[in-house]
Structure 1
Amino acid sequence: MLATFIRWASVGLVCVAAQVAAAAGTAAPPLLRETLSLDEGWRFHLGDIKPDSFPGGQGVNLYGPDITYHGAKAGTAWGAAARGYDDKAWQRVTLPHDWVVEQPFDEKALKQQGYRPRGVAWYRRTFQLPAADRGKNIELQFDGVATRATVYVNGSEVHHSFNGYASFQINVTPMARYGDDINTIAVRVDADHTEGWWYEGGGIYRHTWLVKRSPVHIATDGVYANPVKAADGKWVIPAEVTLANTGAEAASALVDVEVFDAAGKRVAGGRSAPVSVISQGDAVAKVPVSVAAPQLWSVDKPTLYTVRTTVLLGGKPVDAVDTTAGFRTIRFDAKKGFFLNDQPLKLKGTSNHQDHSGVGVAVPDSIWDFRVRKLKEMGSNAFRSAHNPPAKELLDAADRHGMLVMNETRHFNASPEYLKQLQWLVRRDRNHPSVILWSLFNEEGLQGQEEGMEMARVMNAVVKQLDTTRPTTGAQNKGHLSPDGKANPKNAAQVVDVVGINYETDLYDKIRAAYPDKPIVSTEDTSQVMTRGEYTTDWKQVVASYDDVFPGWAATSSARNSWEAIMKQTSFAGRFSWTGFAYRGEPTPFGWPSASSHFGALDLCGFPKTEFYVRQAMFVEDKPVLTLVPHWNWPGKEGQNIKVMGLTNADTVALSLNGKLIEEKKVHPFQMVDWQVPYAPGRLEAVAKKGGREVGRFAVETTGAPVALRLTPDRDTLAGDGRDAAPVTVEAIDAQGRPVPTANLAVEFELSGPGANIGVGNGDPNSHDPEKGNKVRIYNGLAQVILQSRRAGSGDLVLRATSAGLKPGDTTIKVRPVPALPAVAVVAP
């Protein structure tokens, strides 16, 4: 195969909403419950609020003895938590919302959190429930609030959240008001409390929902429908369905389980025996469903099915839930590594935090899809959610695209509250075919001690109570071995299913020998640092992009060395490198003015660094890969040697400058190839061969000065649902239309049509520019703006970019009308 390689990404044409619809099918009847978006219509106040009003009426002394009595009663929350609090002057916001990304950088703020002020803030939302909703179960759902939250409903304190990465649900049926009465939600968010040593943002940064359903219903995350291949080779979904009853009387219910293929065709089904559910109690219905010859889910062909679960009372359906499922087997073997569908597969994974340029941690669903696609483009097949549960939309994207996931809990803690958080994680995510590992901890101080081992033992047992189909691991960076080099008898690795190793590359052989009967995976390695588009390290702000600079703990001197070390361990399941994407906070290897890390194969925007092409050349096996690094714009360095790297999976590469052969070299499978080339302007071209046959060419050219801007959207169509979003790449090009890789210049945007600019960025870890607004600075040739459709939008979304002295750039994204996402109407308090 002859391939011509280019650096800019191709434009995807299919929106996430369409992919989801295709995966779910359309043949099943409508669901019975109402799941309504609660994202719009919130009011926001940055800063805590000193109470100046109390709903107890006139004459109440806020600081006297009366407050002790009145303040202890239901419905009497005061200040900003009160039903009648006047919030008209507050800012209107739509969720997901991260207020921290909007704050200016401050050298006195927390370094590890990205030098941005955090603080406390309040959110309020009012809504009405029609009288017809009386008797239904009414539940509020928050997918994620950073970092600690207290929730009030109609003046009653109803929930405390201690984990910014865990979703939570609140049954508000008892305090709900109907008809013309107004219901009020108030949320106090404390982001001064931090859970991690990276940027965590602040606010209600994931989706919120209001769910209306029958008093007898399927509990939230109450369907366990993970397909299993039986010993006889047949497939069965041993569905377990948790029913809840918030009604006044006990009930007897039946549960139907149906399976639909990707085209929406019903392929299997079953019904439970009658299940009795007491008032304010729950019960589990078991419905094994056999499925004949299903199409398998894999990393190359991620076929998805839909499992519809329906509750019947008196023979009539009252509630139903759809669950995505994939038929696949996984196995971790101590001698041979990881197997997917009984085929060996090396995990080529990356670890990732959850923030993106321009939006912070309030990441639109389609940007999760974009990030997964970029990692797949690199050749990666596995994703570690470091060091916390991911957004469920990330897992949905992983299911769709065939990305395996190591799902990590935030807290290593075996106390009741934190075990509940672990239980929530497993319940929520145990149906995703992409999830293959539960990670119980990351680099804990107690991991190598008896205390840590016992904590891991308890957590492991809790996971097994809810899911026996996936193993557990822990991302452990020390404590595996005793001083004599044998297995430490009192460390967490003794009780998890798969031994996890963070770094410790020099101990791979010893750990392998110490745990001969346990599978092993590198849960974290590499920690390569580089700054996109920079090729000289100044040891102050930027790191050269030659894959040769690393922090002391990394244990390997390059991404190439770390993968070579993994591949030498044939029994290892694979690895999760640090990191796939760069992230805010933990600004390694420098501090101020660096506000984000220099880690990552891709920068904050998702623009590839050299490490991306290094990994692509090592990971991709089914097609030729060839890239040259660096660019070829070096004015003033004529005659000086420039290091040139050839990153390829070919056998040989011949390098020519301006048509003159420099040298043809044999390619090392990991180190690949490099040359020292005296600089002369022109065309530097590589020709790759495999088996003596040409398989690809790649060239970099000396460009002219920038004369125009070019805008390239990731997708040319958006769904007009108010959620769908697409990043647009901004480049400066020369007179021949070539991107200028050294361009650094200011750009302004004008936008018209049914959408909005929700964030800008450029991947510069030292940038202190605002990430909201109509201005951005191109950094080393690239910048990004994220456009989002308007709710009920339709028509052309037109973006124009201008820069002094350059021809403007324009692009148009079609916003197509789609059915409105069911939502809770916004009403005035």
Structure 2
Amino acid sequence: MKKNLLLWLFLSILSWKGNGQAPYEKLSLDKGWRFFKGDIPFPTVKGHRESYNNAKAANALGAASANFNDKTWQSITLPHDWAVEGEFDKNENVSQGYRKRGIGWYRRQFKLDATDKGKYIEIQFDGIATHATIWLNGILIHRNFCGYTSMYLDITALAKYGDEVNTLAVRVDADTQEGWWYEGAGIYRHTWLLKRSPLHVATDGVYAQPVKYENTWKLPVEITLENSGASTTNANIEVSVLDTQGKRLASQSTQNEVGILKKGVVNLNLSVDNPTLWTLENPYLYQVKTIVKQANVIVDSVVTNCGFRTIRFDADSGFFLNEKNIKIQGVCNHQDHAGVGVAVPESIIEFRLRKLKEMGVNAYRCSHHPPSVEFLDLCDKMGIMVMDENRNFNISSEYMNQLRWMVRRDRNHPSIILWSVFNEEPMQGSEQGYEMVRRMNAEVKSLDNTRPVTAAMNGGLFASKNVSQAVDVVGFNYQMQSYDRFHKENPTMKLTSSEDVSAFQVRGEYKTDKAKNIMDAYDSERAIWGATHRNAWKAIAERPFLAGAFVWTGFDYRGEPTPFTWPSASSFFGAMDLCGFPKTAFYIHQAQWIKDKPIINIAPHWNWVDSLGKSIKVMVMSNADSLKLLLNGKMIAGQKVDKYDMNTFSVPFQKGKLEAVGYKNGKEVSRTKVETSDEPFAVQLIPDRLFLNADGQDAMPITVKVIDKKGREVPTAQNLIQFKIKGSGKIIGVGNGNPNSHELEKVNQRSLFNGLAQVIIQADEDTNTIELVASTEGLKPFSLRIPLRKATIMPYVKVINPVIELNEWHISAFSDNKPNPTQEIAENDMNSWLPTKSSQLQAFTEGKYALLRTSFSLNDNLKNRKLVFKNLIGKAEFWLDNQLIFKKDTHESTTISIPFNGQNKNYKLVVLIETEKNQRAGLGGLVTIE
């Protein structure tokens, strides 16, 4: 799966070449960032000159300035979540998991080749938590007020080329929160640099969603073109549909004229006979290849995945996929994982989705915000249906743009079956809420009319005017008591549970102790508004008119540690813990949801050596018809399987082996056991896979446990495990699923919690084997060797060393008499000296002398700095803070390097240029501080 995903990404990024040049490049911008944790206040502006300059383009101050010195900042690779790196703090927000968030700064410098000039250039940020302000080359280019939306920033007119350096600066305000769960802090999704022809397909500019008409399939394709060039151009657009073998099944072409700095939309309608359908069991994907030609030369190309499938909600019979009645077996989830926070590698997302499918999940609600595009790509490939959810319930321009972005970006994904416009909004039972949703629904339909719109309502359903009247599918949050009444009163409305359960469990705990913030894992504890996993599903399964359920939640998540507060720092809701280790709820849903293979599991473990002879509550989860329970080979009980409530027994504890055997039609179909272990003997590491891809991104969760001399797991172990890693990889996080743990997550050690812990390792970009050693006092250590497989490395924007570039200058009037380099400019004089740039020679037609002046700031005391002037022409004197520091006595072009000791202060730099009249002289190249 990981290999196929990387191959698809690589092929999508490196589209074929036409006329000797790649018409489309998408380069990762994740490497080479500088990070500062904390705010850097902007300098106070008081003087008239400062005020005047502050109001001009490209004159951002402080850390937003292009020439700010970030050399001492931390070097990082994105994605990055700084909140997960910190300690837990009782004084921080409980809903955000007691982690300090705060403010942080990021900076990244890069160069664009001179041959890129004239191309369309775009920077993309996939997600920044939470509010972001972005500058390029000292120009404010974007403010983003949502931690979950992407930013597509056209920098074509602002970019520098050749030797000149481009500087991105990002201020992230993570004190601003949007959710009541852990949201992380920082640039936690990918960043990209796009280079395209002036005539190109707009980002998210292909819409290709198959539609079935009786016995035929049509594929309407809408393409949005943009022209950033200087002339109107004619475009030839060709669209083809390809199967997984690359065979062309259909194609069409058309022409369109796109004006200067205009957009153009073209529509084609292809027919595809008897396509292979996208199903949960076989999620078959086709490719829609869009080619744009200009004068018969390919100038752009885009590959879009699509799936042929039908979805239908029915007021009486629930949900249909390809006209097959399917019960939605869904889960709600936030996006964080143990050890990594919200900066989750794609391979860990794939691991989480794989665990959910193992549980029997066929649908996923993105709670409560749009996910990453990599997540949706995986759901497409793995056959998991998705409810894609809007974050902010607001119809102002800013927030409607966020809704439009979500639909435009995601509408090609066959996995998406529902658009959700909100979650549990107080206005849901009012006319205002109805009117807001009516407008949001209309906006969604203007962009995609193939999927229904829902809203997750936890009240207001019976108000005379309410949101249920403005959606296509009514979503119930914790409204079990209203299912029947609402259906009876609204028999034509289509219904689903959008969120249910909210039951509490702690993995490996079998006795509730609220004084210690512990909930048992027998599915006996629930929120006052919720239900147990067993009862909630029974209510769904027995009502055909309900499309299905979305359980709260599949995984535990940081923050919202209901029903507790400190020291609990993460939730208790998950069917799995933060690491993805199953709780009893996982096995309950396996037994309820999986029909095509035998399921049987036992809770609890059988290590109750302090309870000899005492009765232990035993729960067996099975999808068999009946089952038997054996203790040390002797049958002690038998029951018919209860497909909703499961089966429970009271068993006096004896050391040994407790077995459960499942039967169908009188024949054994499944068997499982739990066994009393001896004292811990050795550490054991269990990798999720047998190898890692040497691409610098692939990551793997490794299960950590201890075993006895017979190799049996010790489920009660709590040992502190130390990790050492060698070779081409690193540890990026550790966890153990304990909601009450305050251990650090970016370290090389972790305590087992009820027998388990997790360490996540990530590969480098070379293929040396990784060796991970786990040890603890008094036990045999374990050494795990993980081979690294050669893999395609994502094309990256070249990382350059931080440089301070002095590009903004002012030039005095020309004169025949040598001017005074130390002269000051009047505070209110904005016109005697004119702005100019480095790499811009001056024509000395009105005199043989001129002064060039700039200023810069240093925020450190680094010694042995150099002022470097490339290709300086003319005789010159160099004055730093009114002190002559160097003289050039010749006219020819020369690179000048002047050493000086830097100080934390503001500097004034003046260059006196002397040349003959009518000659060109001055700053012929870049001026930098190195």
TM-score when normalising by structure 1: 0.95
Deviation at 1:560, TM superposition (A): 0.5
Alignment match, 1:264 = 246
What SS class does the counterpart of residue 401 from structure 2 fall into?
Answer: helix
Name the CA distance, whole Å, in 1 between partners of 2:474 and 2:57: 49
Alignment match, 2:225 = 243
Q: What letter corresponds to residue 600 of structure 1 in structure 2? A: G
Name the CA distance, whole Å, in 2 between partners of 1:19 and 1:118: 32
1:709 aligns with 2:683: yes
Equivalent of 1:111 in 86, 89, 94: 94
Structure 1 residues 633 and 385, CA gap change in structure 2 (3 angstroms):
same
Structure 1 residues 810 and 263, CA gap change in structure 2 (3 angstroms):
farther
Deviation at 1:178, TM superposition (A): 0.5
Which moves more between the two structures, 43-52 or 492-501?
A: 43-52
Alignment match, 1:55 = none
Name the CA distance, whole Å, in 2 between partners of 1:336 and 1:819: 47
1:451 aligns with 2:432: yes
Residues 487-502 of structure 1 mapped to structure 2, 5 A cutoff:
488-502=463-477
Mapped contact 2:14–2:25 kept (Cα < 8 A)? no
What SS class does the counterpart of residue 497 from structure 2 fall into?
Answer: strand
Summarize deviations over 1:421-461 as a string: whole Å, max 9, x none: 00000000000010000001000000110000000000000
Structure 2 unaligned runs (5+)? 804-930
Alignment match, 1:816 = 789
Name the CA distance, whole Å, in 2 between partners of 1:243 and 1:606: 43
Structure 1 residues 95 and 17, CA gap change in structure 2 (3 angstroms):
farther
Structure 1 residues 275 and 725, CA gap change in structure 2 (3 angstroms):
same
Alignment match, 2:115 = 132
Mapped contact 1:337–1:573 kept (Cα < 8 A)? yes
What SS class does the counterpart of residue 636 from structure 1 fall into?
Answer: helix
RMSD of aligned Cα (Å): 1.5
Alignment match, 1:435 = 416
Alignment match, 1:10 = none
Name the CA distance, whole Å, in 2 between partners of 1:501 and 1:154: 49
Alignment match, 1:628 = 602
Equivalent of 1:654 in 628, 635, 645: 628
Deviation at 1:693, TM superposition (A): 1.1
What SS class does the counterpart of residue 670 from structure 1 fall into?
Answer: coil
Mapped contact 2:200–2:227 kept (Cα < 8 A)? yes
1:50 aligns with 2:41: yes
Name the CA distance, whole Å, in 1 between partners of 2:76 and 2:623: 49
Deviation at 1:21, TM superposition (A): 3.7
Alignment match, 1:550 = 526
1:302 aligns with 2:283: yes
Alignment match, 2:900 = none
Deviation at 1:264, TM superposition (A): 2.4
Alignment match, 1:565 = 539
Deviation at 1:68, TM superposition (A): 2.2
What SS class does the counterpart of residue 398 from structure 1 fall into?
Answer: helix
1:346 aligns with 2:327: yes
Mapped contact 2:120–2:196 kept (Cα < 8 A)? yes
Q: How many residue pairs were aligned?
A: 797
Name the CA distance, whole Å, in 2 between partners of 1:351 and 1:807: 40
Alignment match, 1:397 = 378
Alignment match, 1:379 = 360
TM-score when normalising by structure 2: 0.84
Alignment match, 2:503 = 528
Alignment match, 2:209 = 226
Name the CA distance, whole Å, in 2 between partners of 1:22 and 1:39: 15
Alignment match, 2:818 = none
Name the CA distance, whole Å, in 1 between partners of 2:616 and 2:11: 52
Name the CA distance, whole Å, in 2 between partners of 1:425 and 1:450: 25
Name the CA distance, whole Å, in 2 between partners of 1:430 and 1:738: 49
Residues 643-722 of structure 1 mapped to structure 2, 5 A cutoff:
643-722=617-696
Name the CA distance, whole Å, in 1 between partners of 2:600 and 2:641: 11
Q: What letter corresponds to residue 317 of structure 2 in structure 1? A: K
Name the CA distance, whole Å, in 2 between partners of 1:42 and 1:687: 56
1:36 aligns with 2:52: no
Name the CA distance, whole Å, in 1 between partners of 2:110 and 2:13: 31
What SS class does the counterpart of residue 200 from structure 1 fall into?
Answer: coil
1:537 aligns with 2:518: no
Q: What letter corresponds to residue 46 of structure 1 in structure 2? A: K
Mapped contact 2:13–2:25 kept (Cα < 8 A)? no
Mapped contact 1:24–1:324 kept (Cα < 8 A)? no
Alignment match, 1:216 = 199
1:466 aligns with 2:444: no
Mapped contact 1:744–1:779 kept (Cα < 8 A)? yes
What SS class does the counterpart of residue 447 from structure 1 fall into?
Answer: helix
Summarize deviations over 1:57-113 as a string: whole Å, max 9, x none: xxxx84323332111111000100001100000001100000000111000000000
Summarize deviations over 1:312-370 as a string: whole Å, max 9, x none: 11121101111111111110111111000111000000000000000000000111111
1:776 aligns with 2:750: yes
Structure 1 residues 178 and 199, CA gap change in structure 2 (3 angstroms):
same
Alignment match, 2:57 = 74
Structure 1 residues 18 and 430, CA gap change in structure 2 (3 angstroms):
closer
Deviation at 1:250, TM superposition (A): 1.5
Summarize deviations over 1:169-196 as a string: whole Å, max 9, x none: 1001111001100000000000000000
Mapped contact 2:388–2:418 kept (Cα < 8 A)? yes
Alignment match, 1:6 = none
What SS class does the counterpart of residue 322 from structure 1 fall into?
Answer: strand
Mapped contact 2:101–2:174 kept (Cα < 8 A)? yes
Structure 1 residues 582 and 335, CA gap change in structure 2 (3 angstroms):
same
Name the CA distance, whole Å, in 2 between partners of 1:820 and 1:658: 54
Equivalent of 2:236 in 254, 257, 274: 254
Structure in which a larger fraction of residues adopt strand: 2
1:421 aligns with 2:402: yes
Mapped contact 1:746–1:775 kept (Cα < 8 A)? yes
Deviation at 1:15, TM superposition (A): 2.7
Q: What letter corresponds to residue 263 of structure 1 in structure 2? A: Q
Name the CA distance, whole Å, in 1 between partners of 2:48 and 2:280: 65
Name the CA distance, whole Å, in 2 between partners of 1:517 and 1:24: 46
Name the CA distance, whole Å, in 2 between partners of 1:782 and 1:511: 45
Identity score, percent? 51
Residues 71-110 of structure 1 mapped to structure 2, 5 A cutoff:
71-110=54-93
Deviation at 1:787, TM superposition (A): 1.0
1:509 aligns with 2:509: no
Deviation at 1:805, TM superposition (A): 1.0
Q: Which has the larger radius of gyration?
A: 2
1:788 aligns with 2:759: no
What SS class does the counterpart of residue 665 from structure 1 fall into?
Answer: strand
Summarize deviations over 1:654-698 as a string: whole Å, max 9, x none: 001111211111111101211000111110011110111110111
Summarize deviations over 1:5-61 as a string: whole Å, max 9, x none: xxxxxxxxx534457549979998456301000000000000110235xxxxxxxx8
Mapped contact 2:13–2:24 kept (Cα < 8 A)? no
Mapped contact 2:407–2:448 kept (Cα < 8 A)? yes
Name the CA distance, whole Å, in 2 between partners of 1:258 and 1:27: 18
What SS class does the counterpart of residue 740 from structure 1 fall into?
Answer: coil
Mapped contact 1:350–1:382 kept (Cα < 8 A)? yes
Name the CA distance, whole Å, in 1 between partners of 2:744 and 2:102: 19
Deviation at 1:820, TM superposition (A): 2.3
Mapped contact 2:15–2:302 kept (Cα < 8 A)? no
Alignment match, 2:776 = 803
The higher relative CO (CA closer than 8 Å, separation ≥ 6) is in: 1
Mapped contact 1:762–1:782 kept (Cα < 8 A)? yes
Structure 1 residues 227 and 583, CA gap change in structure 2 (3 angstroms):
same
Mapped contact 2:78–2:188 kept (Cα < 8 A)? yes
Q: What letter corresponds to residue 210 of structure 1 in structure 2? A: L
Q: What letter corresponds to residue 693 of structure 1 in structure 2? A: K
What SS class does the counterpart of residue 473 from structure 1 fall into?
Answer: strand
Deviation at 1:795, TM superposition (A): 2.6
